[in-house]
Amino acid sequence: MFETTQVLFAFNSNHMEGSTLSVEQTSDLYTTGSVSPADGMDAIRLDDAIETRNHFHAFNWMLDRVDLPVDDAMICSMHAILKRGTSQEQDPDNNVGAYKARPNVIGGLLQEHTVLPADVPAAMGEVIAAHRELKDDPFSIAFAHWLFETTHPFFDGNGRVGRLLLFKELLRIDAMPMVIQDRNRGLYVRGLREFGRTPGYLIDTLLAERDVYRGIVETMAPDRTSYTYHDAWDGVVARRIENPYLKHAWDELDIFGACGDGAVPGPPMRGGVRGRA
C-alpha cells in the first residue's frame, strides 16, 4: 500500500507538471534507486529523475509530521525538499525553499494572475487557516486547495506542494485522501479555473479521485484502515468564493514594486520552467 501510493503519487503529480518519466520508470526509481531510458527515449532529463526521487522524500517527510499543525516553515520545507539538487536550486530567481520574489502567472490556467509576492505572506495566512480548519466536507477540501493554488506562493512547484499539503491534511483529520491523476489533468485545471464561479467542477473532480484512491485502499488493505469520507455538499454556497489577496490585473507599480527599488523587472514568470506548477 505504501509503495503503491508513493509511486502513483510521485508519477501523477510530477507528470502533470511535465515530467517525462513513465509509471514504470517511477517504480524502478523507487525500488532500485536507478532508472533507464524507455524504448524510443534517447535520454532521461536529470531534473525529472531528481524531482521524482525528491517527491518520495517529501512524502516520507510529510508523513512524519502528519499530525503537526501546518505553518509557513512546513510548507517551505516541503518545497525545499522537492527542489533539492535540481537545476532550479542554484538560480536565485527561483527562491527555492522560500516564497516567490517575482510575480508569476499560471500557464495551465490560461495565464491567470496569482497573488503578488508582497501579498504572499498575508495570503498564506488565509491558506494555512483554511487547511488547519479543514473538515471532511467536499467544499472545504476544494476551497483550501484552490486557495493555495491561486496564491501560488512559490516560483515553481506549487501544484506538487499543494497536493502534498492536501494529502497531509486529509490524513490529519482521518479522512480519505486522494492522488490526482495526470489523465484527469484537464478536469482538474478546469476545476481550479472555474472554482470561484462554479465550485462543482473542482469538487466533483476531487471526489472522483477520492473514490479511486478509496478503491485502492480497500483492495490492498481491506478492513485495516479507518477513515471518514463524506461526499455530500450543499450546492448553494452562501458566501462569496474569493482569494482576498488576488488581483486580476496588475499595473506597473505591482510589477516594479515586486522587484525592489530601481530594479528593472522582466515579464512575469509563467509558473517556472516550462510553465510547470
The three cell numbers of residue 41 are 527515449
Q: Look at residue 2 and tell me whether its pLDDT is greater than 70.
A: yes
Cα 161-19-170 angle, rounded to 5 deg: 30
More confident residue, 94 or 63: 63
Region 176-183 average pLDDT: 98
Region 157-176 average pLDDT: 98
Nearest one of 48, 56, 12 to 32, comparing CA atoms = 56
Q: What is the pLDDT of residue 263?
A: 39
Residues 6+ positions from 258 with CB-CB distance below 8 Å: 101, 102, 103, 116, 117, 118, 265
d(CA 90, CA 274): 17
Q: Look at residue 266 and tell me whether its pLDDT is greater than 50.
A: no
The three cell numbers of residue 58 are 517529501
Q: Look at residue 108 and tell me whether its pLDDT is greater than 70.
A: no
Using an 8 Å Cβ cutoff, are 51 and 9 in contact? no
Which pLDDT band, with edges at 50, 70 and 90, does 50 fall under? very high
Question: Could you list the residue range(s) of the whole structural domain that residue 182 is in?
Answer: 2-275
Residues annotated within a binding site: 156-163
112 - beta bridge partners?
Answer: 106
Residues annotated within a binding site for ATP: 156-163
Region 166-173 average pLDDT: 98
d(CA 145, CA 195): 11
Q: Look at residue 57 and tell me whether its pLDDT is greater than 90.
A: yes
Q: If you average pLDDT over every residue of the chain, what do you get?
A: 88
Q: Look at residue 264 and tell me whether its pLDDT is greater than 50.
A: no
Q: Look at residue 267 and tell me whether its pLDDT is greater than 50.
A: no
Mean pLDDT is lowest, of 52-66, 205-219, 226-240, 259-273, for 259-273
Q: Look at residue 195 and tell me whether its pLDDT is greater than 70.
A: yes
Buried/exposed code over 94-110 (b: 16+ C-beta within 10 A; e: otherwise): bbbbebbbbbbbbbbbe
Q: What is the CATH number of the domain that holds 215?
A: 1.10.3290.10
Mean pLDDT is lowest, of 66-80, 95-109, 126-140, for 95-109
Q: What is the pLDDT of residue 268?
A: 46
The three cell numbers of residue 83 are 527542489
The three cell numbers of residue 66 are 502528519
For 5-38, write each residue's pLDDT tens digit: 999 999 999 999 999 999 999 999 999 998 888 7
Which pLDDT band, with edges at 50, 70 and 90, does 255 fall under? low
Nearest one of 102, 63, 58, 65 to 80, comparing CA atoms = 58
d(CA 115, CA 177): 27
pTM of the full structure: 0.89
- Tell me which of 79, 145, 152, 248 is the catalytic residue: 152
Q: What is the pLDDT of residue 16?
A: 94
Count of domains in the chain?
1
d(CA 70, CA 127): 10
Using an 8 Å Cβ cutoff, are 162 and 154 in contact? no
Buried/exposed code over 115-146 (b: 16+ C-beta within 10 A; e: otherwise): bbbebbeebbebbbebbeebebbbbbbbbbbb
Active site residue 152: yes
